[in-house]
C-alpha cells in the first residue's frame, strides 16, 4: 500500500510574510469593521494561520473619527476605566470619547477582539489608526481591504 505524505505546515517567524492593508472607516459600523480588522491582524484570513505565531498583517485605518454606531449607542454606550484605587472608576460615553480621542473608540473595539497576552500585545502593534485622510505609510504600498 502506498503511503501518502501529506503534512500540515505550521508557520513560524521566519516563514511568515506580512502584507500592509488600508481601511477607510468613513461611515462604517464600528463593530463590523473591527471584527474584519481583528481577523486580519491575527492572521485568520490566511491558510497558514497558526494560533501561537504572529501570522497577521499590518492594518492602517484612516478616517477613524468618522466611524459610526447603529441605533442610539453614541449616547448609551459607556467606556469604563479604573485607577486601581477605591472609588476610582470613571465612565465616558462614546460621543464624549469621540470628541476627546477620536481613534480610541475604534482602537478599543479592535483590541477587545485580540488575545490578552504577549502575542496579543505584539499583534496590536501592527495596527495604525489615524483620524484624518493622511498617513505616513505610503512607502509600504498598502492595498485597500474590503470590509
Residue 56 located in a structural domain? yes
Reported as a single tens digit per residue, the pLDDT across 32-65 is 999 999 999 999 999 999 999 999 999 999 999 9
Number of structural domains the chain divides into: 1
Residue 6 located in a structural domain? no
Residue 129 located in a structural domain? yes
User: Which pLDDT belongs to residue 2?
Assistant: 56
Residue 130 located in a structural domain? yes
Domain harbouring 104, CATH code: 3.90.1180.10
Sheet containing strand 58-62, edge to edge, reads 127-129, 58-62, 20-24, 143-144
Residue 108 located in a structural domain? yes
Residue 78 located in a structural domain? no
**pTM of the full predicted structure?**
0.91
Reported as a single tens digit per residue, the pLDDT across 84-140 is 999 999 999 999 999 999 999 999 999 999 999 999 999 999 999 999 999 999 999
Listing DSSP states for 45-106 in one string gives: TSTT--TTS----EEEEE-GGG-B-STTHHHH-EEEEE-SSTT-EEEEEHHHHHHH-TTHHH
Residue 103 located in a structural domain? yes
Domain interval for residue 112: 20-69+96-144
C-alpha–C-alpha distance, residues 22 and 20, integer Å: 7
Residue 2 located in a structural domain? no
Sign of CA dihedral 64, 69, 74, 78: negative
User: Which pLDDT belongs to residue 4?
Assistant: 63
Phi, psi of 119 (to 5 degrees): -65, -40
Amino acid at each position: 500500500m502506498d503511503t501518502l505524505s501529506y503534512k500540515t505546515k505550521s508557520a513560524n517567524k521566519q516563514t511568515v510574510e506580512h502584507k500592509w492593508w488600508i481601511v477607510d472607516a468613513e461611515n462604517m459600523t464600528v463593530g463590523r469593521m473591527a471584527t474584519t480588522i481583528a481577523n486580519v491582524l491575527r492572521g485568520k484570513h490566511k491558510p497558514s494561520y497558526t494560533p501561537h505565531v504572529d501570522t497577521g498583517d499590518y492594518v492602517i485605518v484612516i478616517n477613524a473619527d468618522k466611524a459610526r454606531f447603529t441605533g442610539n449607542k453614541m449616547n448609551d454606550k459607556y467606556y469604563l476605566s479604573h485607577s486601581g484605587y477605591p472609588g476610582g472608576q470613571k465612565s465616558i460615553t462614546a460621543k464624549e470619547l469621540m470628541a476627546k480621542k477620536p481613534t480610541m473608540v475604534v482602537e478599543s473595539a479592535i483590541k477587545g477582539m485580540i488575545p490578552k497576552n504577549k502575542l496579543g500585545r505584539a499583534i496590536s502593534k501592527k495596527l495604525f489608526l489615524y483620524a484624518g485622510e493622511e498617513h505616513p505609510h505610503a512607502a509600504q504600498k498598502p492595498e485597500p481591504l474590503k470590509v
